[in-house]
Amino acid sequence: MIIAVDAMGGDNAPEEIVRGAEKFALASEKMVLLVGSRARIEAFMNPSGSPFIKILDVDGDIDKDEITHRRLPASLRETFGLVARGEADCAVTFCDTANAVVAGVRVLKRLSGIRRPAIPVAIPRGDGFVVLVDAGANPSCGVEDLISFGLMGAFYAASALGIENPRVGLLNIGAEGSKGHNVIRMARTRMEKAFPFPFAGNVEGHEMFSGKTDVLVCDGFVGNVLLKGLEGLASHIFELSGSHGHGFHGSGLAERFSPEIYGGAPLLGVNGTVIVGHGRSGRDSVTSSLILASRLQMLGLPQGIGQLFRNRPFPSE
């Protein structure tokens, strides 16, 4: 297996990315291809080298996407290009999420039947995880997109997290069918009529950890605000509990919520396994992201999602 890594993306590039990639390669003996400035990457590499680390020297110039007019780092475009050309099996980046989404759509292309890719994040709860999707790829979306997010999120929950027959719910301001804006209401009506996974209806924010649903669907704006709010709240609680000498420290909860442990999240809906890591990722998070990329590639996640949409058991319109 060859994992292509955008070594120039993120706040701590390339040092922390190099350190994390070396740790992963040493433990897994899987090939890692670091994409970016050779001089900058080599400055942080172990002098003794590794047979499982290679560098693809890419100029740091910015390429302007012809369709979106968004300026994409050359290292990002080439990292995804390696997967598109079959020269790498999966890709990992720690760049800006919007850039990762644009590069995924433009370079890897979308799977048939999917209008917008989505990012699912597995959030710890008492009995395992609840999958939040979309967690930031799409600030706004339509009815069909929400339904697609539910399908992809449920498939991810079942295949990657081992959740049997996952329940899917729509994040909303109330349980009643009349609550929420028009897109949410229309999506609920469609999913109530025909959906291949158990549908839990509307789910309010306070029910997120109740077990009512395994997959919580929303647009990327709401999802990203919710996710960052949860991360901030968790950090604040851990700080408070530590300052008073009691609480969650030593319980393992801090580790479960730490991105350094769970790494990044997949970009679902494109033709390839892609992991988008946090921009502030340190070396441990980089290692965790590469572990996740390797595991999802072995599971054949993109191929499974593609098959799901080809065999979609209800009309897309």
pLDDT in tens, 37-85: 999 999 999 888 789 999 999 976 665 555 555 678 999 999 999 999 9
Tell me how many degrees the CA angle 68-73-74 measures, rounded to the nearest 5: 110
CATH architecture of 2-114+269-304: 3-Layer(aba) Sandwich (3.40)
Structural domain boundaries in the chain: 2-114+269-304, 121-244
Assess whether the region 2-114+269-304 and the region 121-244 belong to the same CATH fold.
Answer: yes
What is the side-by-side strand order in the sheet with 2-6?
53-57, 31-36, 2-6, 90-93, 273-276, 265-266
Per-residue DSSP letters for 25-86?
HHHH--EEEEEE-HHHHHTTS-TT--TTEEEEE---PEEEPTTT--EEEHHHHHHHHHHHTT
pLDDT in tens, 269-278: 999 999 999 8
Per-residue DSSP letters for 259-297?
HHHH--EE-BTBSSEEEE--TT--HHHHHHHHHHHHHHH
Q: Superfamily assignment of 121-244 in CATH?
A: Isopropylmalate Dehydrogenase (3.40.718.10)
CA separation for the pair 87, 177 (Å, rounded): 48
**DSSP 8-state assignment for residue 137:** S
pLDDT in tens, 30-45: 999 999 999 999 999 9
Q: How confident is the model at residue 245 (pLDDT cuts 50, 70, 90)?
A: very low
Averaged pLDDT score across all residues of the chain: 88
Please state which of the ranges 195-199, 205-209, 227-231, 240-244 shows the lowest mean pLDDT: 240-244
pLDDT in tens, 277-303: 988 889 999 999 999 999 999 999 999
Q: What type of residue is 272?
A: G
Mean pLDDT along residues 127-144: 93
Q: What's the token pair of residue 138?
A: 């799409």
Residue 287: per-residue pLDDT:
95
CA separation for the pair 28, 262 (Å, rounded): 17
